Chains A and B, each alone.
Chain A
Amino acid sequence: MAGTMTAPALDEAGANKKLRRKSSGRGTYVVLGLTALITLFPFYAMVIISLQPGVAISIPDSLFPTSISLDSYRDALDSQNIPQWAWNSAVYSIVSVVLVLLFASMAGYAFAKKRFLGREMIFWVFIAMLMIPYHLTIIPQYIIVGELGGLNTMWGMIAPTVANAQAMFLMRQFIKDVPDEIIDAARIDGAGEFRIYWSVVLPQTKPILATLGTFVFLWHWNDFLWPLVSQQSPGNYVLTVGLNTLQEQQVPLATLMASAVVTFIPALLVFIFLQRYFVRGVMMSGIK
């Protein structure tokens, strides 16, 4: 069998190459299209249901609606706390991104370019902490934030998330590649230490800042467990927690799905406009 297969394949390899590519291309498109449809179905269902308030969802008829209405969106935005939750999510995500990038780049710069006592030790303690699962630390974190008076406050929700070890590690790797010459040149020109960091080093790290910023934003926007346990009053909820309470309160399915769509839109926009930074970040994490 193997013998008979090998001989003709050898002969036809050159001649058939083009032909085979073409036919495999069409088959590939079918598979690609089908998997894309399966991947997109939950999004499609979410949008379709949100546009049909008051309709008992029957399958497959209601998946191809004849009439649509935006009532659920009006209901979601008026009678629910969604604008407030969206604001909380935005503050939680954006403030965290700014602080994570600032602290991580400052520390990353020091670890990459400065010599100081304890540098290696402190750095490896940080990396070792990556091994500790989040769920082990969430209870003591809750107690500590409580002791500091941070439960049910925005700063108490943000503070534990800003010391991000992965972000610092990446910043250090990236700043290491910034040539020493330009730093020395700035120093000879009389630039102060903060000035060197801010106007010489940081501009060199723009791509990694964009990648990290995208990651940190989406991570916070979709974060659930910590906002869930650290905020008790509904006015302080972020969108993910609010969405879950709506689900528990069994609001109409269309309203729930409309709320879900509203939750998803900012993440979608970030993804569309910053996709290349995000994709690069993922690929970087795999190669190393």
Chain B
Amino acid sequence: MAAVVTPVDQRPTSDPPQRKRTPLWRSKGAMVAYVFILPYVLFFAVFRIAPAIYGTVLSFGDFSLSGAFTLEGLDNYRRLFADSLFWNALRVTGIYAAIAIPVTVAISLAMAQLCNRVLRGMSFFRSIYFLPVVTSPVLAGIVFIWIFSADGPLNSGLSIFGLELGSWLQSSVLVLPALALVSAWLNFGYNMLILLAGMLAIPVDYYEAAELDGASTWQRFRKITLPLLKPALFFVLILETVKSFQAFDTIYVMTGGGPVRASYTLTYMIFDQGFGYFDFGYASATGVVLLIITLIFSLIQRRILGRDN
């Protein structure tokens, strides 16, 4: 007991004696503040910060099912870079992103341009376009399995034009475009709203002046809308990049990574190695690589788009 009391008693003497204000961390307001942030900080530390650090540590070791963890240095990464499964996942993720990002952004931009006018009933149409955003990817996946099936509505429609494609999800060529279309359907309403907010912020005078100078609709879009929309467009692009690198729900429901790993993305690999094989260390190494790739891409996009800002 005495041993506990002594250092506390000594503390004031070790502090500079002339201090007038109570130290920031001991003032009444500060104590209240700590109480207010405590629940949040506690949950955040245990379920966000700890897992982020733990995940990085896991990638340098092996976590056996019995709960024992052994550090193994770079073994997981060495194995990863020698694994054809990883290179396939990287390739699949790249192709998927290369399809999903431009398709989704182009549709979102076109729809925002279409919705950026005063017309009776416009808010009704905007609501319809927004409906997929509140839909769960699992539900979307289930309906689109049927839409993309061999005798589904999409193929029935295409057969009118003489196209016989068979089941999209069982074709190693068509499976990624199919998944990208589902992603576009799910997300365009959200992006459309962000772009629309950006378009509404552009002064009408610019368009009126351009119209007087005889600029065509396309010229007005190209020379006024696009440059002034850059911040919103950049935001949407980053959003879609992250989303396409992390696509999981629709892939899990619709293809399970197939056919023959044609839709086996990096996120799917993390899940598969982690919860399919319970190889937590290996899965975490894949996660760290995904993190690095995401960061590099954000930086590149920032560099390219932000140059003249």
Contact = CB atoms under 8 A, between A and B. Distances in A.
B37 A140 contact: no
B125 A32 contact: yes
Nearest to A111: B37
Among B23, B32, B117: residue with most chain A CB under 10 A = B32
Contact of A5 (B55, B214, B275): B214
The binding surface of chain B is classed by DSSP as helix
A135 interface: yes
A19 interface: no
A243 B139 contact: yes
B248 to A, nearest CB: 6
Contact of B129 (A39, A168, A221): A39
Q: How large is the interface on A (under 10, 10 to 19, 20 to 34, 35 or more residues)?
A: 35 or more
Interface string B118-142: 0100100101111110111111101
Interface residues of B, number: 97
B55 A139 contact: yes
A140 B50 contact: yes
B128 A39 contact: yes
A135 B267 contact: yes
B291 A132 contact: yes
Interface string A7-22: 1011001000000000
Interface stretch (B76-84, B149-157, B220-228): B149-157
Interface of B: 23-25, 27, 29-30, 32-34, 36-37, 39-41, 43-44, 46-52, 54-56, 58, 63, 111, 114-115, 117, 119, 122, 125, 127-132, 134-140, 142-147, 151-153, 156, 185, 189-190, 193-198, 201, 211-214, 216, 232, 235-236, 242, 245-246, 248-249, 252-253, 267, 270-271, 274-275, 280, 283-284, 287-288, 290-291, 294-295
12 contacts: A28-B117, A32-B115, A103-B39, A116-B25, A116-B29, A116-B33, A137-B51, A140-B58, A142-B275, A144-B54, A163-B44, A243-B138
> Which 4 A-B pairs give the minimum distances between C-beta atoms?
A286-B194, A136-B287, A222-B136, A114-B33
Given A133-B290, A136-B288, A267-B135, 9 more contacts: A59-B153, A63-B153, A133-B291, A136-B287, A139-B55, A144-B47, A222-B137, A257-B142, A282-B194
